Structure 1
């Protein structure tokens, strides 16, 4: 087809080639990611798949549900471990047709303030309906005070990694935490990662995969849960990334989703704390 430009003049072959190159690059930049099933099959088999999310991105919970259903259909899903429930809570023994109320009770999911059930319930129930146990992996609130005082946690990462965690705590709390609280709160973060790593190991089954669902900060390879897994524990990390949020996090694969509308979470926090 002849390309006309500048009041009817025929475009040069070089210009045509350039325009086709630009169009091709644009198509690549906007192309939808591969189907979840295809990406999962490329990453696995492994003893564990750590699936990170941005908590307020609905597409990320849709990916989690797709992962649960795909692995369960193949008979490869050993268990689902969730940051959103405490370590020690699980659905083992519940029938596939258990009500949501029974499932929530088993997981201790009685409060929607922190982790809204309408957001994560479909993921949990997909596993229960498939006969796959769901286990809490997070550090229980009752253990947090002890973690804050446990100075041995300061040595589980190298100096650079520990400083990264502290920076994350400062930024995650919008600079509102007094400096004296940074180290204790960082220890809680590290203890959470250790708890999730321990739960993954407990749920591992030969020839199957345990799926961890947690925030992107917890699954990152350099300072997150993977650092607390023993050498030889075969795992993969898949990060779901909304726009450029969390870009550059170390992972085996990235699942891109559309950027979320900008929201000033720090303004909300400052208002809450009267700062």
Structure 2
């Protein structure tokens, strides 16, 4: 399950560290020094973002500073930890139970394989699909955020889905978002290694310090959230996500 983000919602997520000038991973790796957890927020259809994933993985791994690569694109509990460095792509995809319909391998495979080749485990971090319905009805998830943040998260869900969700679905969908953020945070905590960084690749909304994964991480961890800037030419018009989402919902 992906979370749609409008251009306005993406613009509201300012990058803590701007990586737009990093042609290679080296400058980014230096900027990430000292972080226990690095949260890399992307726009899922931006190919330039996915090239950054690979570069940053390679750079951190080359410096011996990458403890694990955690990804939204595979479910919590899936891992490549038992695979050798020379594992084939098919073996890696099987270990992660890769869902090609949701996440095209051509986009994310290079970063995943860069980690595997470096001997770095790749960890599924997303909430398993079979737990999403349970999360929708779990009102206790509302209590994991203060009232102001919960309202802001619901507003982000509403605007991110272009006002196309029925009102009664906002609370359940917000709970799923919270549960996904918590699952990712749990994965990061378990993978943390002193002196090295765990890198999470996820949608921009998940790395928001105000609403996302950072809200569910312990304060003892040094966390660096990054939102990748658009990689297209300056002034290029953004895709009309709302029109695309409206069309998909009509087809359903």
Does TM-score exceed 0.5, indicating one fold?
yes
Pick one of 227, 244, 252 that aligns with 1:268: 244
Matches within 5 A, 1:29-108: 33-35=21-23, 36-108=25-97
- Cα distance 1:261–1:123, how it changes in 2: closer, same or farther (>3 A)? farther
Residue of structure 2 equivalent to 1:231:
219
Tell me the alpha carbon deviations over residues 181-230 of structure 1, each in whole angstroms, 9 at most, x when there is no partner. Answer: 10000000000000000000100112111011111110111111011001
User: What is the TM-score when the length of structure 2 is the normalising length?
Assistant: 0.86
User: What is the TM-score when the length of structure 1 is the normalising length?
Assistant: 0.80
- Cα distance 1:138–1:258, how it changes in 2: closer, same or farther (>3 A)? farther
Give, in whole Å, the separation in 2 of the partners of 1:144 and 1:118: 27
Task: Tell me if the contact between 1:49 and 1:212 (Cα under 8 Å) persists in the aligned partners.
Answer: yes
1:151 matches 2:146: no
Residue of structure 2 equivalent to 1:182:
170
Provide the aligned length of Structure 1 versus Structure 2.
231
Shift of 1:261: 4.3
Give, in whole Å, the separation in 2 of the partners of 1:66 and 1:145: 36
Give, in whole Å, the separation in 2 of the partners of 1:85 and 1:257: 30
Range that drifts further, 170-179 or 256-265:
256-265
Pick one of 170, 182, 201 that aligns with 1:194: 182
Give, in whole Å, the separation in 2 of the partners of 1:34 and 1:183: 39
Shift of 1:175: 1.5
Calculate the aligned-residue CA RMSD, in Å.
1.8
Task: Tell me if the contact between 2:28 and 2:56 (Cα under 8 Å) persists in the aligned partners.
Answer: no
Give, in whole Å, the separation in 2 of the partners of 1:57 and 1:268: 16
Tell me the alpha carbon deviations over residues 32-88 of structure 1, each in whole angstroms, 9 at most, x when there is no partner. Answer: 624542233123122111111111111111111111101111111110000010000
- Cα distance 1:148–1:54, how it changes in 2: closer, same or farther (>3 A)? same
Shift of 1:234: 1.3
- Cα distance 1:259–1:131, how it changes in 2: closer, same or farther (>3 A)? farther
Shift of 1:258: 4.9
1:122 matches 2:98: no
- Cα distance 1:144–1:203, how it changes in 2: closer, same or farther (>3 A)? same
- Cα distance 1:148–1:215, how it changes in 2: closer, same or farther (>3 A)? same
- Cα distance 1:260–1:162, how it changes in 2: closer, same or farther (>3 A)? farther
1:211 matches 2:199: yes
